[in-house]
């Protein structure tokens, strides 16, 4: 039997696209008695964290796991960060990788609004802002802007993990899969735990995105009043002018006002892009999708078609 002294520090890592149901998968994995999942995302393997953070912090995050549990961490951002596959392999060469993907066009729209919410993009309608990004717009004040499109090249990003760990240690799902008990049980089997478990979290609802510019304008007050991003190296959220407890209170008040007041007043789902704009996005990802389908051994025809076509 493997002891706590010779077992790997981490057994598996969940990566993926933004809003691709990785949080939902986390709930389903955490529900299994033979799996320990960190509740929060662990940025340890991203640069510059990887060069500056002692390994003891990663060990501390995983310390509550028992010797009989598979230990896992979740961090969707790892998928597209080019350094992460090799960083993970250097610490856990036998780790298994679970990736959850989403239609890259829907992901790009979701990312666009998420970035606006946190002040990482100007507050503009998607017809204007997405077109500017497709035309190559950049601005030193918004250094993360190119990520909105770059993060959707799944074939390229997933290929790094296949190269680092081998195809047999990489399992990729699409977001629709993780609502299906059979798919979740295939993940259990892949991780080497009892596959027959049915997670109680299977029907759990997760937070929807915010697509109303008026709500985003309110949510951006957190950045002006209480918090700021480190935009250069990583997504570190720092208190701004206020002490941390006060900053947290201000931030929570803004979020609460949005969730319990504005969300009921200003209802609405994801926007429908102009057909020509959606077609440009589909064309952008078409060649990478060819690569991805080979990696997955699976066709994704709905990711190729323009809505309504």
> CB atoms < 10 A from the CB of 91, how many?
15
Each residue of 248-259: pLDDT tens digit? 898 999 999 999
Average pLDDT over all residues of the chain? 89
Residue 99 has pLDDT above 90, yes or no: yes
Same-domain status, 222 and 98: no
> Could you report the per-residue pLDDT of 117-164, keeping only the tens digit for each?
988 999 999 999 999 999 999 998 898 899 999 999 999 999 999 999
Distance (Å, rounded) from C-alpha 172 to C-alpha 158?
9
Residues 187 and 229 in one domain: no
What angle separates helix 275-296 from helix 126-134, to the nearest 10 degrees?
A: 60
Label residue 136 left, alpha or beta by phi (over 0 means left) and psi (-120 to 50 means alpha).
left
Label residue 230 by pLDDT band (50, 70, 90).
low
DSSP 8-state code for residue 110: H
Q: Would you state the structure tokens that stand for residue 277, as one six-digit string?
A: 């704009």
CATH of the domain at 195: 3.40.50.300
- Per-residue pLDDT of 11-21, as tens digits, reads 999 999 877 78
One domain for residues 199 and 223? no
279 part of a folded domain:
no
**Cα Dmax for the chain:** 59
Backbone angles phi, psi at 173, to 5 degrees: -120, 165
Which tokens in the block code for residue 19? 């809003």
Compute the Cα dihedral for 224, 228, 232, 235 and give only its sign: negative
Same domain, 181 and 258: no
Q: 186, 203, 220: which is the final residue of a domain?
A: 203
Decide if 98 contacts 173 (C-beta within 8 A): yes
* Residue ranges making up the domain that contains 219: 212-268
């Amino acid at each position: 039997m493997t002891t706590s002294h010779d077992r790997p520090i981490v057994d598996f890592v969940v990566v993926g696209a933004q809003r691709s149901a990785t949080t939902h998968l986390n709930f389903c994995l955490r529900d299994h008695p033979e799996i320990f999942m960190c509740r929060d995302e662990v940025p340890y393997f991203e640069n510059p964290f990887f060069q500056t953070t002692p390994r003891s912090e990663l060990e501390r995050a995983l310390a509550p796991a028992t010797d009989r549990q598979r230990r896992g961490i979740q961090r969707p951002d790892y998928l597209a960060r080019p350094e992460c596959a090799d960083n993970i392999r250097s610490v856990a060469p036998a780790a298994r990788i679970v990736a959850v993907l989403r239609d890259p066009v829907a992901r790009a729209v979701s990312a666009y609004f998420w970035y606006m919410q946190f002040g990482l993009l100007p507050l503009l309608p998607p017809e204007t802002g997405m077109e500017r990004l497709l035309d190559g717009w950049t601005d030193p004040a918004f250094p993360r802007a190119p990520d909105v499109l770059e993060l959707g090249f799944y074939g390229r990003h997933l290929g790094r993990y296949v190269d680092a760990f081998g195809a047999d240690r990489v399992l990729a799902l699409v977001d629709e899969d993780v609502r299906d008990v059979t798919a979740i049980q295939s993940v259990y089997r892949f991780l080497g735990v009892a596959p027959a478990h049915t997670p109680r979290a299977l029907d759990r609802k997760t937070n929807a995105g915010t697509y109303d510019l008026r709500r985003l304008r309110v949510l951006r007050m957190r950045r002006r009043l209480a918090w700021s991003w480190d935009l250069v190296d990583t997504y570190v959220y720092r208190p701004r002018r206020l002490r941390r407890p006060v900053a947290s209170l201000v931030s929570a008040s803004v979020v609460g006002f949005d969730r319990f007041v504005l969300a009921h007043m200003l209802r609405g789902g994801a926007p429908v892009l102009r057909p020509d704009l959606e077609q440009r996005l589909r064309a952008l990802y078409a060649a990478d999708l060819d690569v991805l389908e080979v990696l997955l051994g699976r066709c994704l025809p709905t990711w190729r078609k323009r809505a309504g076509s």
